[in-house]
Structure 1
């Protein structure tokens, strides 16, 4: 299995913290977000990584060999040269098309500005199907990347749901939403060709599209497991309030 970590964004809402470095290289308690996420993946048995870079890419190139030697992992770096005029659909396609045409394998896709309970990565790594982590616990707001599932079936221990995605995005109705997609997902190798076809359509429509939208179409073509957080904590880091939350969560996880 491969872990793809999206690390190309500019992090404008975190300025001046991100003036000279991409968000994944921000440090909490002396450890970068990137190293912390790599360790989370290693706990799930993953040692092969693809980093998609763009903004301040040289900093990632510089640190990658150090992480390989320190952690005993393999890191492949792929550049999104148009990072400033595209969005995550393009960055994801660069990685998933490389995997389809090369080391074909299941991959976990992670937004590089996430801080998560390590158990979240372990749980999604163990699923047999293409899957998404869905927070069914936290209160939703207008910025939450919400989804509405149809024909939902939940397993006996309330850890995994199945169904098709009726809607996904920030603008959908909060009371109708099943939960929030947290930016951690998995595509099994048998679904990668179709996933790439859908991504290409999204990119042709608008290179500013999010990769997240691909799962709506994919959910009608294959089985997707929605792994429920059931209270496991996480945060994405978009702004300074999120940064404070991330620091608090790391202290909690480490203690």
Structure 2
């Protein structure tokens, strides 16, 4: 299994913190977000990584080499040369197409500005099907990347749901939503070709599309597991309030 970490964005809402470095290289408790996420993935048994670079990409490349030596892992960096005029669908496709062309394994896809309870990575790593982590616990708001799961069936232990994605996006009515997609997912090897074909359609329509939308069409073609957080904590760091919350979470996780 491979971990793909998207690290191309500019992090404009975090300036001046990101004036000279991309978000994944921001430090909390003397460790970058990128290194902490890789440690989480190593804990789930993952040793191969693809990191998509863009803004200040050379710093991510150089740091990745240090991580390779430190943790005895393999890290491949792929540059999104058009990071400033494209979005995550393009960055994701660069990695996923490389994986398909080289007949590689399943991959976990992670937004590089995420801070998560390590158990979240453990839970999705063991899924055989294509999977998405959905927060079914926290209060939603207008900025939440919400989804509605149609024909939802939940496992007896309340950890996994199945169904078809009826809608996904920020504009969805909160009351109708099943929960929030947290930016951690897994694409099974058997679905990679279909996933890439859907990404190609998204990019042709608009290069500013998010990869998240690809899962809607994929859910009608292949079974997707929805891994429920059930209160496990996480945050995506979009602004300074998120960064402050991430600091509190890491203090909680690391004790």
Moved over 6 A (4+): none
Cα distance between partner residues in 2 of 1:84 and 1:14: 16
The answer for unaligned runs of 5 or more in structure 2 is none
Cα distance between partner residues in 1 of 2:157 and 2:128: 17
The CA deviation string for residues 138-193 of structure 1, in whole angstroms up to 9 with x for no partner, is 00000000000000110100000000000000000000000000000000000000
Count of aligned pairs: 255
Cα distance between partner residues in 2 of 1:199 and 1:46: 25
Aligned counterparts, 1:18-57, within 5 A: 18-57=18-57
Aligned counterparts, 1:27-106, within 5 A: 27-106=27-106
Cα distance between partner residues in 1 of 2:85 and 2:32: 26
The alignment partner of 1:50 has SS state of strand
Cα distance between partner residues in 1 of 2:61 and 2:109: 20
Residue 179 of structure 2 is matched in structure 1 by 179
The CA deviation string for residues 204-238 of structure 1, in whole angstroms up to 9 with x for no partner, is 00000000000000000000000000000000000
The answer for unaligned runs of 5 or more in structure 1 is none
Aligned counterparts, 1:89-238, within 5 A: 89-238=89-238
Q: What's the RMSD between the two structures over aligned residues?
A: 0.4
The CA deviation string for residues 27-76 of structure 1, in whole angstroms up to 9 with x for no partner, is 00000000000000000000000000000001011111111001111000
The alignment partner of 1:58 has SS state of helix
Cα distance between partner residues in 1 of 2:246 and 2:103: 33
State the TM-score, normalizing by the size of structure 2.
1.00
State the TM-score, normalizing by the size of structure 1.
1.00
The alignment partner of 1:138 has SS state of coil
Residue 248 of structure 1 is matched in structure 2 by 248
The alignment partner of 2:152 has SS state of strand
Cα distance between partner residues in 2 of 1:123 and 1:66: 28
Cα distance between partner residues in 1 of 2:64 and 2:172: 39
Give the Å deviation of 1:248: 0.3
Is 1:7 matched with 2:7?
Answer: yes
Cα distance between partner residues in 2 of 1:66 and 1:96: 24
Cα distance between partner residues in 2 of 1:217 and 1:33: 31
Cα distance between partner residues in 2 of 1:103 and 1:213: 24
Deviates more, 1:85-94 or 1:64-73: 64-73
Give the Å deviation of 1:103: 4.3
Cα distance between partner residues in 2 of 1:131 and 1:61: 28
